[in-house]
């Protein structure tokens, strides 16, 4: 646990009592604060009370008398489309609003670090797609070389629930736009921006607000090194804003699809090969094509971002390359779950928007594509260029028929359920085909989460293959 510093003897309110909320309350108490907790869910309040926390109805204005701060969980709106009523009451009372990420950065460093030979580091990863895989890949490589490392934030453990750092520790944080937008303190040593595509636009008042939330990690965080994906204009703009000149190596530009030029520090993948260039000279090359845990150009971009984040820590290219070959991938992200009779079954349930689904579709040929769900803003325009890779689409979800209308002349079957989609796809698949779940939509019309959707896909595939 990371005890929260700066609130000793003060009352701090915590809104939302899921994993991060409870961890925050515990860390506040460990640091000497009094935690006043609230959740609209009665069962969550009851669990917090059983743990000994003071449950205070924060929906009443008088609850913020003598409160030093309100700490908000990521899923609770603090600005758009409208602030949660508790957040609004705190702002009306002049009470600072923060989140667990802000508390972490103000509390992580301690006087104990004076005795360390190697100062602990924080690598923070954000972006629309690939941030989970990039974060996990960085953590995997650090563990492979026996460096003390912890994975936290939007993946792994709650950020305040991790162990205090030891000499040479590295903490790898995956940060969502909800987290970067609200955190009052952001001070990573190395910050990574993977890419930007439309997502969560209702929570940020549009695409510009979404980009601004991501940009805070760099513009206000002031990292020693910034690893920036430049395959979109927003990344190009941010790299340009952060660099002090054409040879500034505090910015490492990354591309997953094209060769980069210039005398700066850059890492790119082209035709399956990762290349590192610095000061106009190539210093390393890695063949990514034979790494099963990183299929497709989108994962090659993730590999480039992870590689670039680790090079400033002194890891050699050959060491990183060896670790890449041992990476198995993450569940629900281009996860190969079975191969039988020449047919590959891949679970990419995390492809919850059109851009991430398009990247999954670009990684394979002869695809039996299981898609559909709760459609997001922006439609399916980004998948259109990859539809030639699709032999047939099998559409699921409560609005499957409406979703299917976006697929044009692509052969398709409206299946409604995962069970029917998997059965049909498996029955029609030929050797060389890939049965791919990449929904291009949220899961909440039929499932509690993308994880539950992916687990159902895995279960249905296993049932079909055993039959």
What pLDDT band is residue 391 in, cutting at 50, 70 and 90? very high
Of 75-79, 226-230, 427-431, which range is least confident? 75-79
Contacts of 155 (CB under 8 A, 6+ apart): 132, 135, 136, 174
- Compute the distance between CA of residue 422 and CA of residue 432 in angstroms, rounded to an integer: 17
β-bridge partners, 336: 346
Annotated binding residue at 131?
yes
pLDDT (average), residues 61-66: 91
How far apart, in Å, are the Cα atoms of 3 and each of 16, 28, 174, 175? 19, 6, 20, 20
Strand 281-287 and strand 273-278: the pairing is antiparallel
How far apart, in Å, are the Cα atoms of 290 and each of 337, 347, 360, 450? 18, 19, 17, 28
Annotated binding residue at 169?
no
Instruction: Answer whether residue 190 shows pLDDT above 80.
Output: yes
What predicted TM-score, i.e. pTM, was given to this entire model? 0.87
pLDDT in tens, 256-314: 989 999 999 999 999 999 999 999 999 999 999 989 889 888 899 999 999 999 999 99
| Burial of 336 from C-beta contacts in 10 A (0-12 / 13-18 / 19+) | middle
- Compute the distance between CA of residue 258 and CA of residue 101 in angstroms, rounded to an integer: 34
Q: Is 44 helix (H, G, I), strand (E, B) or coil?
A: helix
End-to-end CA separation in angstroms for the chain: 47
Contacts of 154 (CB under 8 A, 6+ apart): 74, 131, 132, 173, 174, 175, 176, 179
Contacts of 189 (CB under 8 A, 6+ apart): 121, 122, 123, 223, 224, 225
pLDDT (average), residues 447-465: 96
Instruction: Answer whether residue 199 shows pLDDT above 80.
Output: no
How far apart, in Å, are the Cα atoms of 193 and each of 244, 327, 467? 18, 21, 44
Percentage of the chain with pLDDT > 70? Answer: 100
Tell me which CATH homologous superfamily contains domain 11-98: NAD(P)-binding Rossmann-like Domain (3.40.50.720)
Average pLDDT in the chain: 94
Annotated binding residue at 197?
no
User: What is the per-residue burial (b if ≥16 Cβ within 10 Å, else e) of 28-43?
Assistant: bbebebbbbbbbeeee
Per domain, the residue ranges of the chain are: 11-98, 106-324, 335-466
Instruction: Answer whether residue 156 shows pLDDT above 80.
Output: no
Listed residue (7, 308, 354, 27) closest to 159, CA to CA: 27
User: What pLDDT, on a 0 to 100 scale, did the predictor assign at position 381?
Assistant: 87
- Compute the distance between CA of residue 287 and CA of residue 273 in angstroms, rounded to an integer: 5
Segment (H or E) for 151 = strand 149-153
Strand 121-126 and strand 190-193: the pairing is parallel
User: What pLDDT, on a 0 to 100 scale, did the predictor assign at position 329?
Assistant: 84
- Compute the distance between CA of residue 56 and CA of residue 7 in angstroms, rounded to an integer: 18
CATH topology of domain 106-324: 3.40.1190
- Compute the distance between CA of residue 77 and CA of residue 371 in angstroms, rounded to an integer: 29
Annotated binding residue at 133?
yes
Q: Report helix, strand and coil shares of the chain as percent, to nearest 5.
A: 40, 20, 40
Annotated binding residue at 127?
yes
**335-466 placed in CATH 3.90.190.20:** yes
Residue pair 387/440 in contact (Cβ under 8 Å)? The answer is: no
Which strand ranges, in their side-by-side order, compose the sheet holding 97-98?
A: 54-55, 34-38, 11-15, 67-72, 97-98
User: Could you check whether the bond before residue 81 is cis, i.e. omega within 30 degrees of 0?
Assistant: yes
User: What pLDDT, on a 0 to 100 scale, did the predictor assign at position 185?
Assistant: 96
CA 394 to chain centre: 27
Angle between helical axes of 42-50 and 19-30 (0-180°, round to 10):
30
pLDDT (average), residues 11-40: 96
Residue pair 49/74 in contact (Cβ under 8 Å)? The answer is: no
What pLDDT band is residue 379 in, cutting at 50, 70 and 90? confident
Annotated binding residue at 362?
no
pLDDT (average), residues 187-193: 97
């Amino acid at each position: 646990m990371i005890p929260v510093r700066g609130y000793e003897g003060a009352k701090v309110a915590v809104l939302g009592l899921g994993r991060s909320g409870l961890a925050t309350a515990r860390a506040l108490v460990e640091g000497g604060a009094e935690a006043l907790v609230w959740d609209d869910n009665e069962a969550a309040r009851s669990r917090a009370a059983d743990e000994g926390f003071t449950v205070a109805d924060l929906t009443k204005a008088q609850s913020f008398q003598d409160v030093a701060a309100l700490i908000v969980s990521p899923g609770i709106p603090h600005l758009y489309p409208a602030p949660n009523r508790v957040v609004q009451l705190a702002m009306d009372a002049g009470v600072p609003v923060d989140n667990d990420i802000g508390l972490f950065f103000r509390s992580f460093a301690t006087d104990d670090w004076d005795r360390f030979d190697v100062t602990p580091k924080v690598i923070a990863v954000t972006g629309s797609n690939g941030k989970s895989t990039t974060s996990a890949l960085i953590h995997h490589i650090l563990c492979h070389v026996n460096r003390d490392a912890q994975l936290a934030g939007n993946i792994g453990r709650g950020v305040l629930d991790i162990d205090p750092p030891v000499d040479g520790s590295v903490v790898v944080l995956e940060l969502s736009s909800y987290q970067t937008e609200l955190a009052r303190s952001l001070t990573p040593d190395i910050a990574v921006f993977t890419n930007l595509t439309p997502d969560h636009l209702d929570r940020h008042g549009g695409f510009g607000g979404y980009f601004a939330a991501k940009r805070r990690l760099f513009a206000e965080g002031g990292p020693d090194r910034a690893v920036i994906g430049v395959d979109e204009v927003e990344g190009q703009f941010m790299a340009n804003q952060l660099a002090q000149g054409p040879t500034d190596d505090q910015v490492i530009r990354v591309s997953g699809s094209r060769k980069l030029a210039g005398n700066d520090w850059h890492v790119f993948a082209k035709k399956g090969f990762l290349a590192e260039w610095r000061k106009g000279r190539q210093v390393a090359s890695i063949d990514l094509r034979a790494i099963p845990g990183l299929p497709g150009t989108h994962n090659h971009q993730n590999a480039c971002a992870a590689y670039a984040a680790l090079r400033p820590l002194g890891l050699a290219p050959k060491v990183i390359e060896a670790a890449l070959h041992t990476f198995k991938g993450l569940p629900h992200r281009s996860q190969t779950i079975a191969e039988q009779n020449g047919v590959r079954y891949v679970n990419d349930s995390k492809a919850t928007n059109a851009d991430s689904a398009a990247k999954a579709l670009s990684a394979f040929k002869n695809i039996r594509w299981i898609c559909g769900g709760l459609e997001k803003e922006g439609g399916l325009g980004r998948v259109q260029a990859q539809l030639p890779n699709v032999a047939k689409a099998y559409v699921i979800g409560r609005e499957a028929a409406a979703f299917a209308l976006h697929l044009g002349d692509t052969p398709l079957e409206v299946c409604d359920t995962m069970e029917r989609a998997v059965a049909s796809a498996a029955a029609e698949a030929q050797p060389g085909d890939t049965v791919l779940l990449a929904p291009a939509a949220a899961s909440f019309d039929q499932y509690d989460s993308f994880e539950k959707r992916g687990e159902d896909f895995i279960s249905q595939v296993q049932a079909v293959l055993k039959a």
